[in-house]
C-alpha cells in the first residue's frame, strides 16, 4: 500500500478549509464567483500546458532538443549553461513563467542527465529564472497583466521593468554559477544521438509545439491555444500510443494547493483580515515606500502565493512606480517556499517525474540567499530608471 506523504495531507487539509469557506458562506457568493472567473483560465492553462509537456516528453521531443543543445555545447558545460540561461529567459519573457516551468524544465533535466552532470543547478536556474525573468513584459506573468493597464500599457511597463529584469537575471545566475562552479566549468563527452522510437509521433508533437509557442506569446487568453494543443496531442496519442494517456498527466496536487490558497486568501481578504497590509499607501516617490512594498510583496508571495499576494497588496500601490515595486516583490521574491508561485509547484512536479529529488530545506536556503539581494538590487535600479 502506497504511503501518503505529509505534503499530500497538508494539501487535503487546505482543500477542506477552502471548501468550508465556500459552502458555509464565509467567502461571500459574489466574491467566490468573481474569484472563480479570475482563476479558472489560469488553472485551465496549467492543466493544458502540463498535458502538452507530458505527451511531448513521451514523444521524445525533449530528448531530441537536449541532444541538439549537447552538440552545440561542444563538450563545455559553461557553454551549455549559457544556452540554458538564454532558453529559460526567452521562454519566460515571451511565453510566461508557467510555460518555462513545464516545457523548459524537462529539456534541461534530460540534457544534464544525458551528459552525466548534476541536474540540480540546471533545474534551479530554470525555476529561478522562470520567476525572476517574468518581470519583463505584461505577457510574462499574470501579475503583470493585472498591473499593465494601471502602469500605462506595454511601452510604459517595459520602460520601468527592463532594468529590474536584468537584475533578476544576473544576480540569480551569478549565485548559481558560483555555488555550482565545479559543475559549470567542467567538460563532457557529447552523447551519441538517438532516433525517436516513433518518428510520426515525434514530428507531429514537434509541429504542434512549434505552432503553440508563438500563439502563447500573441494570444491574451493563453488557455485557448494550450487547450487546443493538448486536445490534438491526446487524439494523436489515442491513435499512436494509447497507454501514454493516464490520469497522472494532470498535476492534481499542485492544482488543488493553488486553488485552495486562492480561496483561503480571498476569504481572509473579504473578511477584512488583511486590511493591515494595505492601510499605508505608497506614492512611488519615497524610497522607503518602494522597499516596503517590494519586501511586503516578496514575504506575502512566499507565504500565500504570488498571485493572491498581488491582488491583496495592489490597493497599497498608488502609482506606476509603486506598482512596479510591488511586482518586483511578487515576481522576483517567490524563490523560497514551494507554494510561492504556481510555476514552482509545476516545476517540482516535472523534476520528480524525471527522477530528480531536491530537499526543500536546501531549496528554501538557497532561495533566500538569491531572493533577498535580487529584490533589493531590483528596487534600487527601479528608482534609477524612474528618475
Domain boundaries, the chain: 32-386
Q: What are the CA-CA distances from residue 44 to residues 39, 90, 214 (Å)? A: 8, 23, 19
pLDDT value at residue 146: 78
- With vertex at residue 295, the alpha carbon angle to CA 293 and CA 296, rounded to the nearest 5 degrees, is 65
pLDDT value at residue 38: 76
C-alpha span between 84 and 70 (Å, rounded): 11
C-alpha span between 170 and 374 (Å, rounded): 9
91 three-class SS: helix
The end-to-end CA distance of the chain, in Å, is 62
- For the chain, where are the alpha helices, taking DSSP H only? 6-23, 29-58, 61-72, 77-95, 97-99, 105-115, 120-132, 142-151, 154-179, 181-184, 199-218, 223-240, 252-270, 275-278, 287-304, 306-313, 320-327, 342-353, 360-386
pLDDT value at residue 34: 86
Scored b (16 or more CB within 10 A) or e, 19-37 reads eebbeeebbeeebbeebee
Angle between helices 306-313 and 142-151 (to 10 degrees): 20
Q: Which of 39, 75, 127 is nearest to 311 (CA)?
A: 39
pLDDT value at residue 214: 82
**pTM of structure:** 0.82
Residue-by-residue pLDDT tens, the chain, 387 positions: 456 666 677 788 888 999 999 888 898 888 888 888 877 887 888 888 889 888 988 898 888 888 888 888 888 999 999 999 998 998 888 878 888 888 889 889 988 988 889 999 999 999 999 999 999 988 788 788 878 888 887 888 899 999 999 999 999 999 999 999 999 999 888 877 778 889 999 999 999 988 987 887 677 677 899 899 999 999 999 999 999 898 888 888 878 887 888 888 888 878 876 666 666 555 556 888 899 999 999 999 998 888 888 888 888 887 899 999 999 999 999 999 988 988 898 898 889 888 898 888 999 999 999 999 999 999 999 999 987
Amino acid at each position: 500500500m502506497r504511503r501518503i506523504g505529509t505534503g499530500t495531507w497538508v494539501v487535503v487539509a487546505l482543500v477542506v478549509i477552502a471548501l468550508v469557506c465556500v459552502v458555509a458562506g464565509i467567502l461571500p457568493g459574489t466574491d467566490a464567483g468573481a474569484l472563480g472567473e479570475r482563476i479558472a483560465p489560469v488553472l485551465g492553462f496549467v492543466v493544458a500546458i502540463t498535458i502538452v509537456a507530458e505527451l511531448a516528453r513521451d514523444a521524445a521531443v525533449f530528448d531530441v532538443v537536449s541532444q541538439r543543445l549537447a552538440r552545440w555545447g561542444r563538450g563545455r558545460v559553461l557553454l551549455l549553461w549559457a544556452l540554458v540561461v538564454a532558453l529559460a529567459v526567452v521562454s519566460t519573457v515571451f511565453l510566461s513563467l508557467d510555460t518555462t516551468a513545464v516545457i523548459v524544465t524537462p529539456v534541461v533535466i534530460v540534457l544534464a542527465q544525458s551528459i552525466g552532470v548534476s541536474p540540480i543547478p540546471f533545474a534551479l536556474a530554470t525555476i529561478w529564472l522562470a520567476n525572476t525573468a517574468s518581470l519583463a513584459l505584461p505577457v510574462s506573468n499574470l501579475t503583470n497583466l493585472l498591473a499593465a493597464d494601471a502602469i500605462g500599457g506595454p511601452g510604459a511597463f517595459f520602460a520601468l521593468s527592463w532594468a529590474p529584469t536584468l537584475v533578476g537575471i544576473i544576480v540569480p545566475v551569478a549565485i548559481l554559477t558560483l555555488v555550482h562552479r565545479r559543475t559549470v566549468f567542467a567538460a563532457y563527452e557529447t552523447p551519441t544521438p538517438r532516433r525517436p522510437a516513433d518518428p510520426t509521433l515525434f514530428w507531429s508533437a514537434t509541429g504542434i509545439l512549434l505552432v503553440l509557442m508563438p500563439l502563447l506569446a500573441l494570444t491574451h487568453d493563453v488557455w485557448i491555444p494550450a487547450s487546443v494543443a493538448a486536445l490534438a496531442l491526446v487524439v494523436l496519442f489515442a491513435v499512436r500510443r494509447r497507454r501514454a494517456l493516464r490520469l497522472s498527466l494532470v498535476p492534481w496536487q499542485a492544482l488543488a494547493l493553488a486553488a485552495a490558497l486562492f480561496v483561503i486568501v480571498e476569504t481572509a481578504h473579504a473578511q477584512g483580515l488583511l486590511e493591515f497590509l494595505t492601510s499605508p499607501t505608497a506614492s512611488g516617490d519615497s524610497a522607503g515606500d518602494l522597499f516596503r512594498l517590494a519586501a511586503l510583496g516578496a514575504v506575502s508571495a512566499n507565504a500565500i502565493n504570488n498571485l493572491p499576494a498581488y491582488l491583496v497588496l495592489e490597493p497599497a500601490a498608488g502609482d506606476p512606480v509603486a506598482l512596479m515595486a510591488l511586482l518586483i516583490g511578487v515576481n522576483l521574491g517567490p524563490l523560497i517556499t514551494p507554494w510561492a508561485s504556481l510555476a514552482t509547484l509545476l516545476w517540482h512536479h516535472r523534476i520528480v517525474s524525471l527522477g530528480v529529488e531536491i530537499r526543500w530545506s536546501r531549496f528554501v536556503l538557497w532561495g533566500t540567499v538569491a531572493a533577498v539581494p535580487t529584490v533589493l538590487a531590483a528596487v534600487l535600479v527601479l528608482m534609477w530608471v524612474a528618475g
